[in-house]
Amino acid sequence: MTDSRSLSDALSDLDAGAKLRVRIAGLGAALAVALMVLFGGHLVRQPLYDLFQNIAPGPDVSRRVHVVVIDADSLRDVGGWPWTRFYLARLVEQISERGAAVIGFDMLFPEPDRLAPSEFTSIYNELPAGVSQEIQSLPSMDAVFARVIGRSPVVLARAGVTEESFDRLDGAPPPLPPEAKFVGAVPEETLTFPAVVANIPILDGAPLGHGLVNGDRDSDGLVRRVPLFARAAGHLTPGFAVELVRVAEGVDQVELQGDRRQLDGVKVGSHRVPAGPDGQLLLRFGDWRKTQTTSAVDVLRQGQRPDQFKDQIVIIGLASAGTSDVTSTPRAKAIYGVYVQAQAVDSILRGTALRRPAWAAPVEWGIGFALVMISFLGVPRAPMGPVLVGAAVEIALAFGASWVAFQNNLLLDPFPMLAPGAANSAVMVALLFVEGRRVQARLRGDLEEERLSAARISGELAAASEIQSGMLLPRAELDRISPAVEIDAVVQSAKTVGGDLYDAFLFDDGRVCFLVGDVTGKGVPASLFMALSKALSRSLLMRPSTSLEAAVREINAELSRDNRQAMAVSLLVGVLHPADGRLDLCCAGHENPLVVGVDGTVRELKLDGGPPLCVDEAFPYPQETDRLAPGEVLVAFTDGLTEAQDPTGALFSRQQVFDALSQASRAPTLAGMVDGVVDRVRAFEAGGEPSDDLTVMAVRLRPAA
């Protein structure tokens, strides 16, 4: 365990309870956000659709729709608004004579003409009675206007009003029923207006049709929809755009497609348009400035083409500074209402209105639920990288699908698809990080405890190493054991403490005893058994009148007693007689010693010996004899020499041992020879971890004085 343990590693250590808590919190967040989207999603959904309206506007209004505006030029040349009905009658005649299929007035005439004879005489009371009577006998311009309307394809406007509206006129006669006939089930959510603002009776009975010009603003002040039909003053009444298309198509009915619970669309003649549940048309706005437009004053002038309005739907409206018919849409901060009606007519003719299909909500929420489940199951298991990539892909796909759908006039809401799953993932990721930090803190504490424990163990091992080293004679003392015998030894443990041992001591008669041993295994257990083996060996070997083979047998018996861990130790014991160089040896499963001559040649003392101590409690280890000539060096060692490995795993071969001893024999001192052999082994290992403890002991007769 290291300090570099990452948070993702800590997350993998979370228990099942922590992951369950994270998942439950994620589901709670998903449910809360789902409710927010369900009841307040329009706060983010509508701005998204408005953005789409500006990025991908609808097509320009077709050439079949023509707007005639009473603009600043018209007011300058004809006169201020309102005009006398005479000019409006002339305007209708000119448009009709030039081939218009239908003429719609996007304005109301709820009051008589201000220049009517009766109105004029009521203002000028000082007129002589004869003059006043003659003026009153003149024809009314409202009557003239009504006759022109009656012989032209005209649609007049009505406006539905609520009970609280200031436009509602108390005591006003009920309006005439609309001309359009409706077939099909009327949906329950149909817009309803208890009253209407209509035209004066003389005008209201003259046209071919009536339509509602309502286009109410949403809460943000923007107009996005107009009614295709509504219930107004007790009558089912078509919207202004629908009525214009009906009259232009020459049909008498409007078909409502669907049932009382779900309105699918409205069909007028050969045109079908999708409708909202309340019967309104959701507009996809184009550039209103590109709508085919003619000034009213130009229509009244001579010299216009006779087919200027042939087969066109002409809408007459106000478009001058100071008029009240100015509104705002998602694509225009200020637009004259007549152009909104023009785009509504065009949407019906070309079927370009926006629609929200019935399958949209189930699909959106189904995808949202699926993503919540994927997040619920996957986030606590997956690495953070794939989670973030997956979230980015989901966002791109949801908004991409909504964008592609809008291009095809469909409204898909990405927020039910994304928001619950995003909330679920975000809360789970946040809590996973919190839980991960908690796990990290716990692991860090465990790591500190392990470090402290390791430090204590390291200190104890260091102390054990010092104790073990103290049990072995230092090299300087080895050299002072006997004036006739030169001895040197080195032990290097593979771990802090090891299982190799050596010893040397002098008998009273001048003989020198030396031994080298190797306990099975490494580390603390081997070091403890090594200490016992060394102490017991010295004690039994120093007994007077005890032969070498007898002492080794007793050592074997004592070590085998109560050896529940089944430890074993190889041992080579030698007794050197300095007087004649005789060498008594006893080998218990140990490496055969080598003798290096004065000339550097190396020979092996092949001993019969026996198994390592503690293998056979009663084995009779034999004493074997050889002779050490002056200048020759006997080298005893453990298998840390012959089992040394290089980085490729190759062993330090016997020939390499011979070569190392031969080369090291050139050293001027015995200690230099031992160090040379050890250095050769470590160079062979090339910095790798030693495979076993290494001990090398060298014994040589001193030259005679």
| Range from 21-25, 126-130, 534-538 carrying the lowest mean pLDDT | 126-130
- Which of 304, 319, 350 represents a domain boundary (last residue)? 350
Please check whether residue 456 lies inside any domain of the structure. no
Residue 244 pLDDT: 97
Would you say the C-alpha torsion 364, 369, 374, 376 has a positive or negative sign? positive
pLDDT, tens only, 72-94: 999 999 988 889 899 999 999 99
Residue 2 pLDDT: 41
Taking each helix axis as running N to C, give the angle between helix 85-97 and helix 141-150, from 0 to 180 degrees, rounded to the nearest 10.
20
Please check whether residue 184 lies inside any domain of the structure. yes
Same domain flag for 185 and 268: yes
- Which of 350, 382, 412 represents a domain boundary (last residue)? 350
Residue 470 pLDDT: 55
Residue 6 pLDDT: 46
pLDDT, tens only, 404-460: 999 999 999 999 998 898 888 888 888 777 776 777 677 777 777 777 776 565 555
Please check whether residue 447 lies inside any domain of the structure. no
Q: Please state the separation of Cα 564 from the chain's center in Å.
A: 59
pLDDT band at 705 (very low <50, low <70, confident <90, very high): low
Q: What is the dihedral of CA 62, 66, 70, 76, to 10 degrees?
A: 90
Please check whether residue 330 lies inside any domain of the structure. yes
375 or 662, higher pLDDT:
662
Q: Three-state DSSP class for 188? A: coil
pLDDT band at 640 (very low <50, low <70, confident <90, very high): confident
Please check whether residue 99 lies inside any domain of the structure. yes
Same domain flag for 318 and 366: no
Say how many residues make up the chain.
705
Residue 376 pLDDT: 82
pLDDT band at 632 (very low <50, low <70, confident <90, very high): very high
Residue 12 has pLDDT above 60, yes or no: no
Mean pLDDT, all residues of the chain: 87
Same domain flag for 149 and 284: yes
Residue 549 has pLDDT above 80, yes or no: yes
Same domain flag for 307 and 344: yes
Same domain flag for 315 and 362: no
Same domain flag for 621 and 608: yes
Please check whether residue 460 lies inside any domain of the structure. no
Residue 4 pLDDT: 37
Q: Over pLDDT 90: what percentage of the chain?
A: 56
pLDDT, tens only, 359-416: 999 999 999 999 888 888 877 777 777 888 888 898 999 999 999 999 999 999 999 9
Asked if residue 159 lies in contact with residue 196, where contact means CB atoms within 8 angstroms, the answer is yes
pLDDT band at 7 (very low <50, low <70, confident <90, very high): very low
What mean pLDDT do residues 658-683 have? 93
What mean pLDDT do residues 528-540 have? 86
Residue with tokens 């009614």: 227
Q: For residues 30 and 369, give the distance between their C-alpha atoms in angstroms, rounded to a whole number.
A: 9
Residue 466 has pLDDT above 60, yes or no: no
Q: Give the chain's domain count.
A: 3
Asked if residue 542 lies in contact with residue 505, where contact means CB atoms within 8 angstroms, the answer is yes
pLDDT, tens only, 195-249: 999 999 999 999 999 999 998 888 889 999 999 999 999 999 999 999 999 999 9
Same domain flag for 104 and 227: yes
Asked if residue 677 lies in contact with residue 506, where contact means CB atoms within 8 angstroms, the answer is no
Please check whether residue 489 lies inside any domain of the structure. yes
Query: CB 545: neighbour CB atoms within 10 A?
Result: 5
| Range from 103-117, 120-134, 671-685 carrying the lowest mean pLDDT | 120-134
Residue 345 pLDDT: 97
| Range from 309-318, 339-348, 358-367, 373-382 carrying the lowest mean pLDDT | 373-382
Q: Which domain covers residue 653, as residue numbers?
A: 473-701
Q: For residues 386 and 408, give the distance between their C-alpha atoms in angstroms, rounded to a whole number.
A: 33
Q: Which residue from 95, 205, 198 is spatially nearest to 147, judged by alpha carbons?
A: 205
Can you name the residues that pair with 598 across neighbouring β-strands? none
Residue 247 pLDDT: 97
Same domain flag for 88 and 122: yes
Q: Three-state DSSP class for 109? A: coil
**In which element (H, E) is residue 453 found?**
helix 414-471
Same domain flag for 511 and 611: yes
- Which of 295, 322, 350 represents a domain boundary (last residue)? 350
Query: Who's near 14: CB < 8 A, 6+ residues apart?
Result: 22, 380, 432, 435, 436, 439
The model carries a pTM of 0.63
Same domain flag for 341 and 204: yes
Contacts 24+ apart (CB under 8 A), 647-656: 647/685, 647/686, 647/688, 652/681, 652/684, 656/680, 656/684
Same domain flag for 294 and 250: yes
Residue 169 has pLDDT above 70, yes or no: no
Q: Which residue from 665, 695, 663 is spatially nearest to 678, judged by alpha carbons?
A: 695
Please check whether residue 449 lies inside any domain of the structure. no
Residue 469 pLDDT: 57
Same domain flag for 288 and 413: no
CATH of the domain at 581: 3.60.40.10
